Structure 1
């Protein structure tokens, strides 16, 4: 079909904190608020942000592990957000997930071979010979020996368990894999092996990835496009090279400036951001980032900024850096004065 493989429109998830009394209004946790993006076949789309910004909730919404409060999730034009369980089951073959913890996401009672073939047997019957051949083939694809087919997860290292999780996700030959912090629990050397494995598999099989991470080094290595989330909303979405070369949203600048730099002589920008992330139960009015933003103006405190397309193909939600409209007499500063809050330092 023409169009993107995955299209997300105005995805929202609220968690109520109680049942209320006499139908009174009850507070809710606004985990995800009005998120929209698309993913092309064979693309790696990364979502980054601080802990608690809603990244993992988006992953679970895409997989329909939780039901959305509002919005649509379209796979090849079909809205899976509204499907009932029986109709949704057929779409499970198209999308799989690699979880953050490579141990707790695996059944400790099953062998490596059983873990890999179990998803397939949910849809079709396999003979013993077919199961062994499938498990051995997928173990080779993820860089493991077929001789490990009878081992339990407890007998594998962390990197091997994560490879096993990837092999399980590949068993149904999906078009889309959601990877939620898939390398965050691994050593740096093992991280590189897993990332290179994912990129090789993508080239061989044309799989699209939605890769969720807080590690900007990982994102810069693997992503085609990057969405930056803050308190449940996307604040900037751009091609990977453009985002890291010239971030536009103040929060994106702060994230990149806070990332460790291995070269002690490298000069980078320092962005002064103070305070803590606000509570999703009672988010600030207007732009959620304005209490911490050094560029905030009065308009930021009143009006939620829309995502505005820019000339280089990115979209940004910021009244200062990407104003949708110019308001006569407003206190919005120009880009040159906005960048004056940054100063060059040595890492």
Structure 2
């Protein structure tokens, strides 16, 4: 892969809870906590995890739909998280998003042609002939007939609407497209068509994808690398082949074990976790997964594990599977901290 087009460094997002008039909030929803990764041109990074782990918040932060609490989002070396609104406008052309719901993400009052050309008209004026040519070209690129440019979204099927959403994202010729559960609302056969379409477009145009999903089957098909998130943090980051062949983090093992297997004769793994995901308002101390982890030791309850580079190239945040020699010894920590954590 080439140099990273997108680089995320220590990205953090806390949502304050209301504390009343003129009072500072004392509680925060810790949606994203110290997330770092990179994506090269022509690469697909998939982000997976349970509902509420912060995947969609990461997508909104990458698009600057919400402002981060901390960290940086670098596009070609420029930190878009620190840009003013007028400076950010020029960067909007280079990053686009395809949303989860193909029914509510399209304006029902615009025709397919208008939906496709509207983003470009926000930056430069187009004649009627240019609009029609652009719409026809992009519709055909995503596998739809150019005659559909005069139809309303209500006249299209779910798969056709999602293709229309992809065509709209392509209208500005972006370098990065973020897809937030872009195929989860579609039938399995239509999912396969959309995924193959995305892979073909990436090979043709060299677009970088950040693909967010909870479906491991979809991720295994389209991803180059996979980031596994748990309660706002990345706990494992590896190539697709390495992650599915040999998952290292206990949470990753549990996710893969819980995925449906389309083979009734195949024996399923018993690596399942119990309990509920902790609240992001009051996350556990140390490793957030330790209350549900069968491998948890004393260190897991006290210290947050860093994301450590492993010899096989993956990054892992686990005191048991990836011990970090730079972490302080428990004996060097204040007794009050250790005792209060273990209560």
- Shorter chain as denominator, the TM-score bin is over 0.9
- Residue number in structure 1 paired with 2:341: none
- Residue number in structure 2 paired with 1:89: 89
Contact between 1:53 and 1:231, CA under 8 Å: does it hold in 2? yes
Query: How does 1:1-347 map onto structure 2 within 5 Å?
Result: 3-19=3-19, 26-325=26-325
Q: Distance in 1 between matches of 2:21 and 2:164?
A: 48
Contact between 1:272 and 1:294, CA under 8 Å: does it hold in 2? no
Q: Distance in 2 between matches of 1:149 and 1:307?
A: 47
- Structure 2 residue runs without a partner (length 5+): 332-343
Cα offset, 1:26, TM superposition: 1.1
Change (3 A) 1:111 1:284: same
Q: Distance in 1 between matches of 2:330 and 2:11?
A: 35
Change (3 A) 1:20 1:317: farther
Cα offset, 1:329, TM superposition: 9.7
Contact between 1:180 and 1:212, CA under 8 Å: does it hold in 2? yes
Q: Which runs of 4+ in 1 moved over 3 A?
A: 19-25, 326-330
Contact between 2:257 and 2:272, CA under 8 Å: does it hold in 1? no
Contact between 2:30 and 2:281, CA under 8 Å: does it hold in 1? yes
Contact between 1:98 and 1:179, CA under 8 Å: does it hold in 2? yes
- Secondary structure of residue in 2 paired with 1:267: coil
Across the aligned residues of Structure 1 and Structure 2, the Cα RMSD in angstroms comes to 1.5
Q: Distance in 2 between matches of 1:292 and 1:323?
A: 19
Task: Write the deviation string for residues 127-179 of structure 1: whole angstroms up to 9, x where unpaired.
Answer: 00000000000000000000101000000000000000000000000000000
Cα offset, 1:270, TM superposition: 1.9
Q: Distance in 2 between matches of 1:113 and 1:328?
A: 62
Cα offset, 1:19, TM superposition: 4.3
Cα offset, 1:24, TM superposition: 5.2
Contact between 1:20 and 1:26, CA under 8 Å: does it hold in 2? no
Q: Distance in 2 between matches of 1:315 and 1:266?
A: 30
- Structure 1 residue runs without a partner (length 5+): 331-347
Change (3 A) 1:328 1:123: closer
Cα offset, 1:265, TM superposition: 1.9
- Secondary structure of residue in 1 paired with 2:33: strand
TM-score of the two chains, using structure 2 as the length reference: 0.93
- Secondary structure of residue in 1 paired with 2:228: strand
Contact between 2:43 and 2:207, CA under 8 Å: does it hold in 1? yes
- Secondary structure of residue in 2 paired with 1:164: helix
- Secondary structure of residue in 1 paired with 2:4: coil
- Secondary structure of residue in 1 paired with 2:87: helix
Q: Distance in 2 between matches of 1:107 and 1:232?
A: 32
Cα offset, 1:267, TM superposition: 3.3
